[in-house]
Amino acid sequence: MAGIYLDNAATTALDPEVFEAMKPYMLNHFGNPSSIHSHGREVRSAIEKSRRTIAELLNTSPSEIFFTSGGTEADNTALRCSIEQRGITHVITSKIEHHAVLHTLQHLEKTGQIKLDYVPLDDKGVIDLSALKDWLKNHPESLVSLMHGNNEIGNILDIEEVSWICKEHKAIFHSDTVQTMAHYTHDLQEIKAQHIVGAAHKFHGPKGVGFLYINNDHKIHPFIHGGAQERNMRGGTENVYGIVGLAKAMEIAYRDMEEHHNHIQGLKDRMIQKLKVKVEGVAFNGLSEDSDNSLYTVLNVSLPPTNMSDMLLFNLDIKGISASGGSACSSGSDVGSHVIAELGNAAERPNVRFSFSKFNTADDIDKAVAAVAELYEQKTV
């Protein structure tokens, strides 16, 4: 499709190198990996090779990696099974988590299974770690779920520090790492988390496949029952070519991480500077403008109110710019971003999330800024 794609936090384009790795398992190697004949053994070998690749990149054991349909299933499995099987009654999270976490925990509270508390945030969405420590002193052996990188405003949590805080208080720590997986390194010997998750389509892999890391010291039972796949942890025939693509995409991401980080950070910095020049009154939500404390892939822009605030994304789309107002998982909803609302930002200011990938160029950024500036040539209200 023609146009400029700046919604990579929602999904990324499939890397051609990943597609080439997947193709044999789409066309030729079609056996069921649970079958004992040669066709089945062939694809079983590909799954286990992929598991080893991911485990090596994360500095952990293959026995701790379980394949899922994506981040949402992985989050649900980790949270629901930990709470139900370990008798967890207290959980702490934040009000700016992804809905895969937030809605799951709110449902469990509504049904009376847990008491849910929210860690305080400042007006930039920064989590108060002192308050987290105080809460855990009073509620030891609880569960904490805090995301590593916020998918809307880009804030990065010190995941290693939080993991050690939880370890000190014997709390289970789950982190939604979907936005940081394969964009940053995760050393699971240093990060003392019981669960982290990944989704292939966030780093140029295929949609519909992800994984859940379950620490060997924190065994849980399956969330999806059926067959004995994934070592009895997830029923259902494996998405073989998706798993192969997931592992290949992670391998490429780790191989080229520094190069891509520098390239994408340069694009983000370019957009920040040009927006400041071209759009009077522009601001940035959360820590989005802070390169040391936010995702290099995400920029959340707060724009001055105009007479077309409600139609800004639509008008950008007409100009060939694909961006979003928040999480793609909530598109179609007219309630707005729960993250932006929690920060207390004025509702009349339109907010746009631009998110970048290795396939974007400086020319993409210049055209996107020009499109925003052109829309703002109309009289503000």
Per-residue pLDDT at 378: 62
Average pLDDT on 247-271 reads 98
Q: β-strands 321-322, 143-145: how paired?
A: unpaired
The catalytic residue among 14, 328, 329, 341 is 329
- Average pLDDT (22-26) is 97
What pTM value is reported for the model?
0.94
> With the C-alpha atoms ordered 214, 219, 222, 228, is the resulting torsion angle positive or negative?
positive
**What pLDDT is attached to residue 326?**
63
Of 149, 209, 159, 152, nearest in space to 181 by CA:
149
For residue 71 the two structure tokens come to: 């981040």
> Rounded to whole angstroms, how far apart are CA atoms 261 and 253?
10
End-to-end CA distance of the chain: 34
User: Contact at 8 Å (CB) between 246 and 19?
Assistant: no
The helix (run of H) or strand (run of E) holding residue 283 is: strand 283-284
92-107 pLDDT tens trace: 999 999 999 999 999 9
Amino acid 187: pLDDT: 98
The torsion angles phi and psi of 50, rounded to 5 degrees, stand at -65, -40
Give me the pLDDT at residue 166, please. Answer: 97
d(C-alpha 220, C-alpha 81), whole Å: 6
Is 81 annotated in the active site?
no
Low-confidence winner among 85-89, 282-286, 328-332, 374-378 (lowest mean pLDDT): 328-332
Distance of alpha carbon 53 from alpha carbon 67, whole angstroms: 13
List of domains in the chain? 4-12+256-375 (3.90.1150.10), 16-255 (3.40.640.10)
* Residue 25 scores a pLDDT above 70: yes
State the pLDDT confidence band at 310, using cuts at 50, 70 and 90.
confident
